Chains A and B, each alone.
Chain A
C-alpha cells in the first residue's frame, strides 16, 4: 500500500486546490483571464506591404484549391495601451471573397510585426482569369472606433 502514498497525496493536493480556488472558498485564483480584445489605443507605422507579389497559388500534394500567397507585410508598433487589434485584409471583389487576418497588439510595443494574409482556399472551379484586381487594407481597432491606416489597389496573379 505504500506505493499509493504519493498518488494519494497528489489527489489530496488537487482536491484541496480545486475547492480552494472554487466559488465557495475563493482563497486562491489559479486561472487568469487574458486582456480583453480590441480595447486600448496604438500608433503603428506601415513599413512595407506586398503590392506586386500577391498571388493565387494552387495547393500542392493534390490538395487542388488555390490560396492567397504573399510575402508578409511589415509594420512597426510604436506605442500600445491596452489591447487594441489590427486587421489586415485582402479583398478580391470579383471572386466575392476577402482574406482577413486579425492580430492582438498587447505586448508588441516597439516591435516589428509581420502580417500574413489569411490563406483562404478558392476552388479551382471558380478561378477562370489569369489575374484579379484586389484591395489590400490595414485597419486598427481601438475600443468602438475602427480606423483604416492603409488602402492599396493591387493585382493578384494566378500562378498555375
Chain B
C-alpha cells in the first residue's frame, strides 16, 4: 500500500498491516473512506434527538433490556407506561420488541457510550467526533485533488471553528437520549456504508469518478439521507441490498474460482443480518439472490452449493438463536408472535390483550397467526393488483399530494411519492427506449457473455430487477399509507435506483465529460435553493404540509426535466453539459430538502446532536410552522 493511501485513510499514523486490511475491507480505498466521513458529517448536520414515530419507543425500550442482559422489555423507559408501543409482542408474560439485529448491535454502542460518559462529557465528545469527520473528509478530498496540505488545514480550521461554535451554545446531553443515540449510530453507519458500497460497485465497473458520483448521490440526493439518523430498519436493509449487488458482481468478475466462490458465499451471507432485522425482507432478498445466482453461476457443483449453504446458515444463526430464546421456535420471528397491547409492565398483573388482528398498516407486512404461506401469496397478489389501479400508482410513484384514501386523522400531506423523494429517478424513463431498441435490433434474447460466462453486470441488473419486483410484492398493497414520508416501505429501491441511473449510458457520458457542470448545478442549487425555500416558507407563511408539497411540486418539475433530457440525449445525443447540470440540480434540490426538513420541518423535540443545529433550528423556526417557542416543540 502506498504512503498516499496509508495517510489518507484518516489515521495519520503508520497503521499496522491488520489495521490496513480492516480499513481496505470496509472502505476499499481512501475514496471510500472519504465518502464515509462525508456522509457522517452531512447526516450529523440534521441529526435530531427525539422519537420520530412511536415504534421507536419499542426500539429504545428493547435496547434498554438488551443492555441489561435479556431480550425482553422490563422497563418502559420510553413511550406509554404500559410499554405497549407498536411492535411489541407478548410471550409467556414477557414483552418483546423486534428488529433485534439492529438492537443487539446498538447495545455495543450503548455500552461504549455509557463507558465514555463515566470519564468525559458526552456532548463534547460527539461534537468533537463530528468535527473530525469534517477534517477526515477534507483530507481525503485533498488527496483526490492533490492539495493535501491546504485541504487538511482548511478542514481543521472549519472543524475547529464549528467545534468552538458548538461549545458556545452547548447544553448537557441527557442520559435519557443514550439508547436512542446508540440506535441512531447503527442506522447512520448503515446509511454511510451504503454510499461506500455503491462507490465500490460503480468504480469497479466504470471509473472512480462515476463511483464517487454514485456515493455522493446516495448521501445527498436520496431518501437514504432522510432516514439515516432515524432509527428504523430501512437504512440497514438498503445497505445489505447494495452489498448483495457488490459481492454478486465480484463473484462473477473474479478470475479465480476460489475468489468467485468466496464472494458468492458472501452474497448469501448478507441474508442473515437482514432476516435478523426484518424477516420478510430477508426472505425475499434470499429468493431474489437465488433466482439470479443459480442460473448464472459458473458452476453449481456440490462443493459450491455446500459453501453457499454454509455461509447462509451461519449468517442466520443470530436470527435463529434470538427466535429460540423468545418463542422457542427458531423459525418464528417476533412479527409472527401475538401482539402486546396489555398492561404487564405497569404492574396491573393481568396479562394483557393478545390482539392477533394486526392491521395491514401495522408498520410491517405480516401480522401473526394463520398460514404464513397463504398470507404471503395473498399479499403478493394484492400488491400486484395495485399495479392495475392508476390512481394508487400515481400516488405512490408520481404525485402524492393530499390523499383522501387515508383516514382523516392521518391524511396530513407530509408524504412524498417515490419520484418526489428522488427526482433523479426521472432518468429511468429511458429504459423502455432501450428495450425497444433491443427488440428492433433483435439482440434481446441472446445472452450477453463475458469470457464464456454471464457478464457480471448482467447478473447485478437481473438481481436488481427481481429484488425490486419482490419488494413491490411485499409492500405495494399497504401503500399509500400515512407516516411514509418518502415511501419508506420501498426504501431499498432508492439505493438500487442510483445503480439504475448510473447504468444509463447518457448519464455516465454526462458525468464523465461534464462533471464540472454537475458540481456547479449541485452547488448553485444548494446555495440558492436552500435560502429560497426558507424564504418561501417564511414569506408565504406556509404550514408543514404546504412546505412539504411545495418541495414536491418543484421536485416533480425537476424530475420531468431529468427525464426529458435523458430521453433526448439517448435518442439524439450531444447534450452532456446540459444533462450534467440538470442532474446536479436534481441532486441539489433533494439535498436542500434533506437539510431543511431535518432542521426546521421535522425537528421532533428541538434537540439535536450538534448544539449549533439546535440554534439554527430555533432561529429558522417560523411561528407558523409550530406556533410555540422551541422549548415546547
A101 CA / B541 CA spacing, docked (Å): 16
Nearest neighbor of B630 in chain A, beta-carbon distance: A104
Instruction: Name the A residues within 8 Å of B412 (CB-CB).
Output: 65, 121
Residue on B with the closest CB to A108? Answer: B629
CB-defined contacts of B160 to chain A, threshold 8 Å: 10
Measured between beta carbons, the chain A residues less than 8 angstroms from B118 are 22-24
Main secondary structure of the interface of B (DSSP, over half): helix
Q: Cβ of A31 < 8 Å from any Cβ of B?
A: yes
Number of A positions contacting B (CB below 8 A):
51
Tell whether A99 is near chain B: CB-to-CB under 8 Å: yes
* Cβ distance B236 to chain A, nearest Cβ, rounded Å: 29
Shortest CB distance B61–A (Å): 26
A126 and B408 within 8 A (CB): yes
Q: Is B568 part of the binding interface, using a Cβ–Cβ cutoff of 8 Å?
A: no
Q: What residues of B have a CB within 8 angstroms of the CB of A60 in the complex?
A: 540, 542, 546, 549-550
Residues 57 to 76 of chain A near chain B (Cβ within 8 Å) = 59-65, 67, 69, 72
Can you list, as one digit per residue, whether each of A10-48 has a CB less than 8 Å from chain B (1) or not (0)? Answer: 110011011101111000001111100100000000000
In the bound complex, do residue A30 and residue B121 qualify as a contact, i.e. CB atoms below 8 Å apart? yes
Query: Of B12, B553, B632, which contacts A8 at CB under 8 A?
Result: B12
A7 to chain B, nearest CB (A): 5
Q: Are A65 and B545 closer than 8 Å at their CB atoms?
A: yes
Is B631 a contact of A63 with CB atoms below 8 Å?
Answer: no
- Asked if A112 lies at the interface with its beta carbon under 8 angstroms from chain B, I say no
Which of chain B's residues has its CB closest to A120's CB? B627
**A19-B120, A31-B172 known; A64 vs B623 contact (CB < 8 Å):** no
Chain B, Cβ-Cβ closest to A125: B408
Say yes or no: is B132 at the interface (Cβ < 8 Å to chain A). Answer: yes
CB distance from B190 to the nearest CB of A (A): 26
Interface centre among A10, A14, A32 (most CB of B within 10 A): A14
In the bound complex, residues from chain A placing their C-beta under 8 Å from that of B544 are 119, 121
Residue picked from B148, B548, B631, most chain A C-beta under 10 Å: B631
Is residue B443 contacting chain A, with contact meaning CB distance below 8 A?
A: no
Known pairs A14-B128, A30-B170 / 5 extra A-B pairs, C-beta < 8 Å? A7-B12, A19-B120, A31-B124, A34-B631, A104-B631
Q: Which chain B residues have a beta carbon within 8 Å of chain A's beta carbons? A: 7, 12, 117-121, 123-125, 128, 131-132, 135, 139, 148-149, 152-153, 155-156, 159-160, 163, 167, 170-173, 399, 401-402, 404, 408-409, 411-413, 540-546, 548-550, 552-553, 623-629, 631-632
7 contacts between A and B (CB under 8 A): A31-B121, A31-B172, A62-B401, A99-B627, A101-B632, A104-B631, A119-B626
Residues on A facing B (Cβ under 8 Å): 1, 3-4, 6-8, 10-11, 14-15, 17-19, 21-24, 30-34, 37, 59-65, 67, 69, 72, 85, 88, 99-104, 114, 116-119, 121, 123-126
9 tightest Cβ-Cβ pairs between the two chains A and B: A64-B402, A118-B627, A101-B627, A63-B545, A123-B408, A14-B128, A62-B401, A63-B413, A61-B549
